[in-house]
A = this chain, B = another copy of it.
Amino acid sequence: MGKAEMSISRRRVLTGAAAGTAAATLGAITLSSKQARAERTWDHDADIVVVGGGAAGYTAAVIAAGNGDSVIVVEKADSPGGTCAKSGGVFWIPNHFALKAKGIADEKDDCLRYLCRYSFPEAYTPDSPTLGLTPDAYALLEAFYDNGSAMVDRVQALGALKVMHWDMWDLERMPPDYFDHAPENKTSMGRPLGPALPNGKAGNGPEIIGQMGDKLASMRVPVLLEHPAQNLLMNDDGESIGLQADHNGNAVNIQARKAVIFATGGFANNPDMLARYQRNKVYGACAAAVATGDIIPIASAAGAKLGNMTGAWRTEVVLEEALETHEVGSGAFMAGGDSVLQVNKYGRRVVNEKRNYNDRTEIHHVFDPSRAEYPNQLMFTVYDQRTAEAFAGNYPLPSEPTKAPYVLSGDTLDDLAAAISARLSELQPQIGDIELADDFAAVLGDSIARFNDAALSGVDPEFGRGEQEYDRAWTYLFAAPKVSEKWPANNMPNITMHPLSDEGPYYAIIVGAGVLDTNGGPVINAKAQILDKDDKPIPGLYGAGNCIASPSREAYFGAGGTIGLAMTFGYIAANNAHNEPVKQT
């Protein structure tokens, strides 16, 4: 039977979405039970259809196939991997095999205190049974703890991924968590894992996708590339029974006998959604280009409840790179030197420049009630010749000090201010009317003087730079110096700070708020089932990864906090989908 015979009771959101032709919109289609079942046809079928071929989706697919389910992976891009393939490939997992092997206890009660305290600072209550969280929110973080380590063991046992303790690649250092100084964090080092290369070293994101992709191939799991999801297919009982994807302008109907697992990206590359759901301005995104939030209208049409839509994995981005492409190659994860500070348009420091990128970027979204503006909307990373040369190549510092078009310079602070002002004027059609304060250079001078005092004393009384282990340890990755005769090692009492030179040239890079990806979307429960607005699971519909409302909300537990959650909830989804009854079509 041809696709044209397939009978679809169309809904409003489906106008134009006839079977066999390209679906013009995203949504959900109810297949009417009143049509003879024999009239329908499916282009593909499987027990479980996984939408999205990144970390969450590939984990779900290998777990599902390992459970004996037939699986199809549907991927929008022309190659698999999603944002994972652009990443360092680290995944943050509590209480895993490598910690256990080293005799490090990562107890459930302690770990959940850290997760809950960091994710819900406004609700955390130490002596509450759910630590102050709603039972649903607590259950999600508990599921992460309970399943993360088991997920790792399972993908290893399946031969889908070889996993090792991640020690910052060649640095061979244990990475501190991103809120390592939380009193609740009793195991603040060593939770990140990574994929092991054949040579025994840690790989990065493509290695996860490569190994898992090989495993999927060996298990004969099809990965349909260039098949963007268009519509969920539902039966009259409101159960998810498949997915309609688009392929080269044709609708492709894929039956999911047991379940559809959404494991796609967020909406980081959808500027319209960013404007509607996120505060202030998000200039750029590290996420893969396909992260355009397609699941939001699709799942909404199926009745899904949305959550954490204002949430994101945040990072600063180099303004001009983001303006050019929106999707950027990397975030500006840390100000990459020691004789470097960041100021706002008033010339004032407002944050510890070595704080982790997720929390640090929040500073851009602070609103000043008196001026009715975002005073830190853009920040200016200011540094001297030492940082330009000795730290060259620590992105965003270019490998040759002034060779990047986004690096501004001036012989004096006044000259630097003039260069920044000129650049802001050039960019005004794109960024609006952001001007340096008239006394910017003078206030910047004061800020540098105070910073230099702090560098000499080792203590930053304003923002505590270098006070926490995070600041110091991550400096080795994000701000590694090239020591030379001209630029000796930092011999100051606090290696994160070195006085700026009293003499120019001085440099500046303009940074704005960005995201790795957003992490809001359909709300799931601890079984990774997508919920409707009454908190009832939509039968046969699961979610994991950046496309769903993150269990961590705004918190980034440590390196790989993104992928660790994605893989774990992919695993949870696949295991629960395995027990789903076969749906009537």
CB within 8 Å of B: which of A34-70?
none
A348-371 interface (Cβ within 8 A of B): 351-352, 355-356, 359-360, 362-363, 366-367, 369-370
Provide the A20-34 mask, 1 if CB < 8 A to any CB of B, else 0: 000001111010100
Chain B residues, Cβ within 8 Å of A179: 372
- Asked if A308 lies at the interface with its beta carbon under 8 angstroms from chain B, I say yes
The answer to the question of A411 belonging to the interface, with a C-beta cut-off of 8 Å to chain B, is no
**A220 CB within 8 Å of chain B:** no
Q: Are A122 and B278 in contact (CB under 8 A)?
A: no
Q: For the complex formed by this chain, how many copies does it contain in all? A: 2
Given contacts A301-B303, A374-B121, contact A277 B310 (CB under 8 A): yes
Q: Mark A120-138, 1 if CB is under 8 A from B, else 0.
A: 0111111010001010000
* Min CB–CB distance A9 → chain B (angstroms): 6
Given A301-B301, A369-B359, A370-B463, A309-B277 contact (CB < 8 Å):
yes
Please name the residue on chain B nearest to A306 by beta carbon: B276
A10 and B369: CB pair below 8 A? no
Which of A15, A134, A549: most chain B Cβ within 10 A?
Answer: A15
Interface-located stretch among A379-387, A427-435, A478-486: A427-435
By beta carbon, the residue of chain B nearest A538 is: B12
Interface of A (DSSP majority class): loop
A302 within 8 A of B: yes
Chain B hits for A303, CB < 8 A = 11-13, 25, 27, 297, 301
Q: Does A398 contact B (CB under 8 A)?
A: no
Least CB separation from A297: chain B residue = B533
- For chain A, the bracket of interface size reads 35 or more
CB neighbours (8 Å) of A132 from chain B are: 432-433
- Cα(A301)–Cα(B299), bound, Å: 10
Contact residues in B for A121 (Cβ distance below 8 Å): 372-374, 377
Q: How far is the CA of A351 from the CA of B369 in the complex (A)?
A: 8
Minimum CB–CB distance for A314 against chain B, Å? 10
Contacts of A28 in B (CB 8 A): 11-12
* Least CB separation from A363: chain B residue: B369
Interface flag for A300 (CB, 8 Å): yes
- Whether A523 is near chain B, meaning CB under 8 Å from some CB there, is yes
Given that A303-B13, A352-B369 are contacting pairs, would A125 and B309 also be in contact in the complex, using a CB cutoff of 8 Å?
Answer: no
- Chain B nearest CB from A270 CB (Å) reads 10
Identify which of residues 277-300 in chain A touch chain B, using a CB-to-CB cut-off of 8 Å: 277-281, 297, 300
In the assembly, what is the distance between CA of A356 and CA of B370, in Å?
9
Chain B nearest Cβ from A385, distance in angstroms: 29
**Minimum CB–CB distance for A474 against chain B, Å:** 14
CA–CA, A472 and B523, complex, Å: 46
Please, how many angstroms separate the alpha-carbon atoms of A277 and B277 in the complex? Answer: 8
A172 within 8 A of B: no
- What is the chain B residue whose CB lies nearest that of A365? B367
Q: Shortest distance in angstroms between A583's beta carbon and chain B's nearest beta carbon?
A: 13
When chains A and B are docked, how far (Å) is the Cα of A355 from the Cα of B367? 13
Tell me the nearest residue of chain B to A14, going by C-beta.
Answer: B238
> Which chain A residues (523-537) contact chain B, with CB distance < 8 Å?
523, 532-534
Q: Is the CB of A234 within 8 A of B12?
A: yes
A122 partner, pick from B134, B281, B306, B549, beta carbons under 8 A: B281
Taking the closest CB of chain B, its distance from the CB of A339, in whole angstroms, is 21
Cβ-based interface call for A210 (8 A):
no
Type the 1/0 row for A296-330, where 1 means its CB is closer than 8 Å to any CB of B: 01001111011111100000000000000000000
Q: Which of B118, B366, B549 contacts A276 (CB 8 A)?
A: B549
A26 touches B533 (CB 8 A): yes
13 contacts between A and B (CB under 8 A): A11-B234, A12-B238, A13-B238, A125-B432, A128-B429, A276-B308, A276-B523, A279-B279, A351-B369, A351-B370, A359-B370, A362-B367, A363-B369
Given contacts A11-B234, A25-B303, A276-B549, 12 further A-B contacts (CB under 8 A): A9-B9, A12-B30, A12-B234, A12-B238, A13-B532, A25-B534, A124-B432, A125-B432, A132-B432, A297-B303, A301-B303, A355-B370
